[in-house]
Amino acid sequence: MLLVFLLNLREGWLQAKGCWDLEGCFSCPQDELREQLTCFCALKLVSAGAKTAARPFEYGRTHVVRPKGRHQATIVWLHGLGDNGASWSQLLETLPLPNIKWICPTAPTRPVAVFGGFPCTAWFDVGDLSEDGPDDVEGMDASAAHVANLLSTEPADIKIGVGGFSMGAATALYSATCFAYGKYGNGNPYPVNLSAIVGLSGWLPCSRSLKNKVESSQVASRRAAALPLLLCHGRGDEVVLYKHGEKSAEVLRSNFQNLTFKTYNGLGHYTIPEEMEDVCKWLTATLGLDGSCS
């Protein structure tokens, strides 16, 4: 079962790193995939009993895509489990959104429970890619704080947001809840004012505590209701199952009333031009950008 899961995850990762083909979808080579993952699983078994590395973890390289037109918005975009900021920066640079500055950080390399403790780039530790899994609040707080720090130096007249794919989407949604509540999970104040959240093929962490936190404060309820969210999920996703994305949207919608949930028949754990076009249109309308997505 683990090998099947890793094959599905690796396939989605490769497809998200692929290139546009003439048929209008992502394609990529799959050479030596099974051999690489067999080795990966063997390494996992060796490292499963290893002692967890001490925190804090070091974040990797951050890639920045500068706006080609008038700078109106800055979005931190977060990659998925095992990926890096470079791959998504290459895709985001091709989007017809000339007024957005994209900041694409790379997550720390850390032991990940879903891989039996094998280290890979991850925004937080995770044992189950769903809203029902145990919550690594310390890890999510650290990554949400890293994102907020990247946005904290942006000019005051620039709208800021967070987006991501898979685990990156989960981290973006966690940032949204921190913004609404005004605090991280550890109680420290959340410092930036978010204008948009985008999550592709992701899930909502800490869903069990979200409702009580937001509804306990009128200020939090108002912030949540005013923050625009776009969630997209493929019905064919075998890594983060569609039902988890759908349930996350339902939980969020009870507080985040300005939420759009888009679904794509047959889409697995990767992205396609139709989905990215929807993202472009939504960001242009939501952020009031000069440019248009053609």
Q: Give catalytic residues, as residue numbers.
A: 166, 237, 269
Radius of gyration (C-alpha) of the chain in whole angstroms: 18
Residue 238 structure tokens:
């075998």
Kindly tell me the burial class for residue 194, based on how many C-beta atoms sit within 10 Å of its own C-beta (0-12, 13-18, 19 or more): buried
DSSP string, 22-52: TTSSEE---TTHHHHHHHHHHHHHHHTTSPP
| Eight-class DSSP state of 183 | B
Instruction: Give the closest residue to 190 by CA, choosing from 228, 155, 160, 230.
Output: 160
Cα torsion at 223, 147, 229, 237 (round to 10°)?
-140
Contacts of 264 (CB under 8 A, 6+ apart): 232, 233, 234, 235, 272, 274, 275
Instruction: Give the closest residue to 173 by CA, choosing from 110, 122, 224, 240.
Output: 224
Sheet order of strands, 229-234 included: 63-65, 100-104, 73-78, 159-165, 196-200, 229-234, 259-264
Q: 81 near 120, Cβ under 8 Å?
A: yes
Dihedral sign of CA atoms 105, 63, 86, 280 in order? positive
Cα atoms in the Cβ-side hemisphere of radius 13 Å centred on 262:
18
Q: Which residue has the tokens 């009128």?
A: 218
Residue 288 structure tokens:
């009031």
